[in-house]
Amino acid sequence: MEALSLSYPAVGAIAAAFIAGLTSLLVTILAKDHKVSEFRQEWINDLRNDAAELVSHLSITSLILRYQQMLGDAGKDVPQVEMATYKEFVVAQACILRIRMRLNPKDHSGLLEALQKLDFGPEGTLHHHPHTLRAFTEEVRKVISSEWDSIKKGEPWVRAVKFSAIATILLSVCAVGWKLVAS
C-alpha cells in the first residue's frame, strides 16, 4: 500500500486557503466591531446631549421658582411664569424618559438612581438642589467614561478573536518556516 503524500504545491494551496479564510473572518469581525463602536459613539453623544439638556432645563426651572419665591417673600407681585415653567417641565420630562429608555438597569443602576431623584413623579419636585444636579452629572460622566473605555478596548470577545487570529497566523508562518528549514 502506497502512503499518501502531499506535494509542496498542494500544501501551499491548502495553507493559502486557510490563511485567506482566517483573514476574511478577521476582517468581518473587525468590521462588525467598528459598526458596534459607531453605534456606541452615537449612544454616548445622545446620552450626553439629553443629560445636558435636562440639567439646563431643571436649572432654569429652579431659578424661575426661586425668583418667584423671593418676590413673593418680599411682598411684591409675582409675574405669571407658569407657562414658561410648564414648557421647561415638558422638555425635562422628555429628556428623563429618553435617558431612562437608553439605560440598562443592570449596568447603569447608579445613573438610574440619580435620574430618579430628578424625576417629577409623586416624590419629585420642580425645584432641584444644585447638589442633586451635580450628582446626576457625575453619574453621567461615569457612564460615558465607561462606554468610552469599551470603545477604546473593544468588546472582550472581539479582543479574544483578534488575539486568536494573530496567534494562528504566527503559528502557521512559523510551522511553514520550520518545515522549509527542516527539509
Condensed to tens digits (0 to 9), the pLDDT of residues 155-167 reads 777 778 778 878 8
Written as nine digits, the cell of 47 is 446620552
**pLDDT surpasses 70 at 4:** no
Residue 60: predicted pLDDT: 80
Q: Which amino acid is at 55?
A: V
* CB of 59 closer than 8 Å to CB of 133: yes
Q: What is the pLDDT of residue 74?
A: 76
Cell of 101: 429608555
Per residue in 26-51, pLDDT tens?
Answer: 788 788 888 888 998 999 999 999 99
Q: Is the dihedral of CA 44, 49, 55, 61 positive or negative?
A: negative
CB 114 within 8 A of CB 139: yes
For 131-145, give the DSSP string.
HHHHHHHHHHHHHHH
* Candidate ranges 4-13, 76-85, 111-120; pick with highest mean pLDDT: 111-120
User: Is the distance from CB of 117 to CB of 132 less than 8 angstroms?
Assistant: yes
Helix (H, G, I), strand (E, B) or coil at 120: coil
Q: Which DSSP category does 176 fall into?
A: H
Rounded Cα gap, residues 37 and 73, in angstroms: 53
The candidate with the shortest Cα–Cα distance to 179, out of 12, 4, 2, is 12
Domain locations in the chain as residue ranges: 46-153
Taking the whole predicted model, whether its pTM rises above 0.75 is answered as no
Confidence band, pLDDT 50/70/90 cuts, at residue 106: very high
Rounded CA separation 123/165 (Å): 54
> How many other C-beta atoms are found inside a 10 Å radius of the C-beta of residue 11?
12
Look at residue 81 and tell me whether its pLDDT is greater than 70: no
